[in-house]
Amino acid sequence: MKNIKRRFYLLLLVTTLILGSPGLSASAQEPTVTIVQNCSDWGSNGWCHTSADMHISMPGGTVTCWPLACDVWAGNGIWTVNYTATDNTTGLSTSGSVDLKVDTLPPWANIQVPSSTGSNGWFKTTPVVIPFNAYDYFQG
C-alpha cells in the first residue's frame, strides 16, 4: 500500500511540474484594472474643473479600495484612492493608486489701490505702489 501512495504522489508531482498547477497557466498575466474618471470640463495636467466621479473595477475579480471607496464622487481637492485587485480565477493580484484632481475655484487676486494724492484721481508722487496678492487654491 505504501508503494501505491508513493507512486501516486510521485505521479501527481511530475504531472504538476509538466502541466502546471490547476487554475494557473504559464501565460497567466497580472489582472487588468479598469479606472474610469468622469468629468465634463478637463483642464491641463489632469485637473477637472467641475465635480467629478471615479470608478475602479475589475471584470472577473475583486477590488478593494482605501481610504476611499472604489466608486467616489469628488469635490475640490486631490483625492487619492489605493486599490488591490485579485483575479477570481487565477488568484493573481495587482495593486496601485490613482489620483482624482478637482479644482472648480478660479484663481483670484486682491488688489489694493491707494487713495490718490492729487486732483482728479491723479497721483503726485512716483512711483505709485499698488500691493496685490494672487490666489489659486488647487493649482488646477
Q: 17-24 — which CB contacts under 8 Å span 24+ positions?
A: 23/89, 23/90, 23/91, 24/90, 24/91
Mean pLDDT calculated for residue range 65-80: 94
pLDDT of residue 6: 38
pLDDT category at 27 given cuts 50, 70, 90 is low
Per the listing, cell 464622487 goes with: 73
Q: Is residue 137 part of a domain?
A: no
Q: Is residue 60 part of a domain?
A: yes
Q: Is residue 70 part of a domain?
A: yes
Q: Considering the chain, what is the average pLDDT of its residues?
A: 81
CA torsion, points 66, 71, 76, 81, in degrees to nearest 10? 30
Beta bridge partners, 77, equal 102
**Structural domain boundaries, residue 93:** 30-102
The answer on pLDDT for 20 being more than 70 is no
Residue type, 93: S
28-37, 47-56, 99-108: lowest mean pLDDT where? 28-37
- Put the strands of the sheet holding 34-38 in their side by side order: 34-38, 52-57, 71-74
Q: How many domains does the chain have?
A: 1
